[in-house]
Amino acid sequence: MNGIAPPLIPWVAEPPAPQGRYTQEQALDDLPGVAYALHLFLASHMVESEDYCHKCDPTAERMYFSTGIGLIQCVKSLMSFEDEDLLAALGHLKRGSAIAYQHRKRAASLPTRLVGLVVGSLNTSGVGWIKSMTPVERHAELVYAESLFERAVVGIAYSGDWLAFIKEALNMRTAFNIYRQLGKYLEVVDAEATARGQGPEDKSIDPHFRSGVYMGVGSSNLVLSMMPSRLVTLIELFGYRGDRQYGLDILYKAGGWTKDSHEPSITHEQE
């Protein structure tokens, strides 16, 4: 980091930088580092956060650090609205989404998907498909949706024309659909855990994935609920509807906020 020591944050220590050759199976090992970069960013050490991500992923091949850089560039570009910043953010976001796509579970072939419509046990779509994924593949699905959503927002801001809006709206639709499927997955596994007497949440789901899904489901509901009424009518034709209160409730849940307490149930150490 240019010879400058990173700032000290009292509730989190800098994790060691990744060592050795990167493989997709190691993607989740980067979560502590990305969490540290997020803490730096939220503590207004934005340059240090970006430098830390670059230091940990100099070749831009690690899923979480690449998409982390993309998110930082996304925020920076939307703060300045300079064409140069928006274009740079798009480049980073495209790179991040491409890496996330490489980590996703390969879709079944068309014949297999057609058979899966009849034989549900093949798990070619929906919650069954997500259940068949590895933890890395589920995280990649979530990260891919996040990258598409960020790309859509920055892309609309950069171009400003209707053709680009339609193109990016399709990306946003894909992201919302992934969020919706992941949200259903959490509902199902939590219900199954409750039925086993191990609820109310499935403890096998790591908090990073769960909070990311909550963030996506909540924010997508908020975005849809705040669109102009004419546009909402068009969106509803495709089966999408935004519920503002539900979106807020999900976002409260992600942070551990309840009406019964002025403090969240999630501590700094758990963030």
Burial status of residue 117 (CB atoms within 10 A of its CB: 0-12, 13-18, 19 or more)? exposed
Report the distance separating Cα 271 and Cα 31, nearest Å.
11
Cα–Cα distance for residue pair 123/130, rounded to 1 Å:
8
What torsion do the CA atoms of 33, 35, 36, 41 make, to the nearest 10 degrees?
130
Low-confidence ranges of the chain (pLDDT < 50): 1, 121-122
Residue 70: the pLDDT is: 93
For residue 75, the model assigns a pLDDT of: 92
| Alpha carbon distance 111, 93 (integer Å) | 33
| Mean pLDDT taken over the chain | 84
Residues whose CB falls within 8 Å of the CB of residue 76, separated by 6 or more in sequence, listed in order = 46, 85, 89
Q: What is the pLDDT of residue 67?
A: 93
Residue 61, pLDDT score: 93
Q: What is the pLDDT of residue 162?
A: 74
The tokens describing 270, both together, are 């758990």
State the CB neighbour count (10 A cutoff) for residue 157. Answer: 18
Cis bond upstream, residue 58 (ω within 30): no
Q: Tell me the pLDDT tens digit for each residue of 246-263.
A: 888 898 888 777 777 777
The residues pairing with 9 across neighbouring beta strands, listed in sequence order, are 12
Scan for tokens 């579970």, then name that residue: 105
3-state secondary structure 88-107: HHHHHHHHHHHHHHHHCCCC
Instruction: Output the pLDDT for position 1.
Output: 47
Q: One-letter amino acid identity for 59? A: T
DSSP 44: T
Domain range summary for the chain, segments of one domain joined by +: 27-205
